[in-house]
Amino acid sequence: MNDPESRDTPIERLGKFGLIDRLCAGAGKINPGTVKGPGDDACIIDTGNSLTLVSSDLLMEGIHFNLVYTPVKHLGYKAVIRGISDIFAMNGRPGQILVSLGISSRFSVEQIDSLYEGIYLACKRYNIDLAGGDTSSSLTGLTIGITSIGTVDRESITARDGAGPNDLVCVTGDLGAAYMGLQVLEREGRLFGMDKSFKPDLTGYEYIIERQLKPEFPVDVLEQLREKEILPTSMIDISDGLASDILHICKSSGTGCRLYYEKIPIDTETFNTAEEFGIDPVVAALNGGDDYELLFTSPPANYSRIMELKDVRIIGHLTAPEQGNMLISPEGTAVELKAQGWNKL
């Protein structure tokens, strides 16, 4: 039984990333093929001619998704994107996924068929093979586990720890849309919960809702980088929010950063919806998560070539670590960046 006087540390005090750091503190290398273990988007395994990348993701009903407003077909698609984005973020090419499910008795065969329709659709879109997995009964709803496997050439591997002071900080696409789409869906879900006859009107929110329910990964940017012969010094997918993810890079690379408020790309629909909800759109971009865009760094010498890339923005630069991690306002005021984004276990 739990002792009410126990001095055990609540997990929420550490948070997701603090818990990961604690659990992996004792992880060592026993096998020579293990090039990199915990601490990046995927582990790196030396398999001979090239490097193999492996990552895993877990999605829990009620934590990562709500089936009141999430179609299961869309959920299957998004689960694949969530998994393979880790492989892409290390400059690799995903090739296979394994899918494991925990399924409660309230789900029908047809619902699981629909989930797999979304999984197969994403696999076809990104040239991925569904190579296996597992299923189990569940007492707590639906659980989806995705293991992603890919490869990368030795000279092309991009981790979080290769950046240095003065490197440019770049992002793809626009940020905060998925978070604002979630705000709209949760609002409509609450209204439906109060009145089952309620018909949601999502007109004007199509883009941000799609970014939440059916995101796409910017593979074309990786192709552009290869064509321009730009190898990022570090890279990460933006899944936990821009602030959390730039801090991951800074921690791994031993740097600080300066991000500029007015340079963070935000779509007009995201901006307008944020204002409707009384949210600073830049705060949505910094802390919202689920964007599945790329955040990467590159030396200043590549500035002109980066400016030629489609859908890429330079939003800041890295600094010496003692200068801290700062967001610079349009007036020039420096505010400390903190990891306040997606932190659900």
Q: What is the pLDDT of residues 119-135, one digit of tens each?
A: 999 999 999 999 999 99
* Cα angle 316, 205, 181; round to 5: 55
pLDDT, tens digit (0-9, with 9 covering 90-100), for 273-290: 999 999 999 999 999 999
Under 8 Å between Cβ of 111 and 105? no
DSSP at 8: P
Whether the predicted pLDDT of 27 surpasses 80 = no
Q: Answer yes or no: are the C-beta atoms of 273 and 206 closer than 8 Å.
A: no
Token couple for 284: 């949505």
Angstrom distance (rounded) from CA 53 to CA 43: 6
pLDDT tens, position by position, 87-127:
999 999 999 999 999 999 999 999 999 999 999 999 999 99
Sign of CA dihedral 201, 205, 208, 211: positive
pTM (two decimals): 0.87
Contact in structure between 164 and 254 (CB atoms under 8 Å): no
Domains 31-156 and 168-336 share a fold: no
Token couple for 182: 């979630």
Which of 6-15, 61-70, 193-202, 313-322 is the least confident region? 6-15
- Cα–Cα distance measured from residue 281 to residue 271, given in angstroms and rounded to the nearest whole number: 5
| Buried-state track 15-47, b at ≥16 Cβ within 10 A, e below 16 | ebeeeeeeeeeeeeeeeeeebbeebbbbbbbee
Domain boundaries, the chain: 31-156, 168-336
* 8 Å CB contact between 56 and 195: no
Superfamily in which the 31-156 domain is placed by CATH: PurM-like, N-terminal domain (3.30.1330.10)
pLDDT-based confidence at 222, cuts 50/70/90? Answer: very high
Indicate if the alpha-carbon torsion angle 155, 55, 293, 39 is positive or negative.
Answer: negative
DSSP H or E stretch at residue 129:
strand 129-137
Task: Return the pLDDT at 189.
Answer: 85
pLDDT of residue 109: 94
Helices (H), 167-241: 177-194, 206-213, 219-227
For the segment 236-263, the average pLDDT, to the nearest whole number, is 97
Q: Is the pLDDT of residue 248 over 90?
A: yes
Distance CA(305)–CA(342), nearest Å, equals 32
Closest CA to 234 of 257, 253, 206: 253
Please state, rounded to an integer, the average pLDDT across all residues of the chain.
Answer: 90
- For the sheet with 143-152, list strands across it: 34-36, 43-46, 51-60, 143-152, 93-103, 129-137
Residues 154-212: pLDDT tens digits?
A: 999 999 999 999 999 999 999 999 999 999 999 998 887 777 777 788 999 999 999 99
Q: What CATH code would you report for 168-336?
A: 3.90.650.10
Count CA within 13 A, CB hemisphere, residue 175.
33
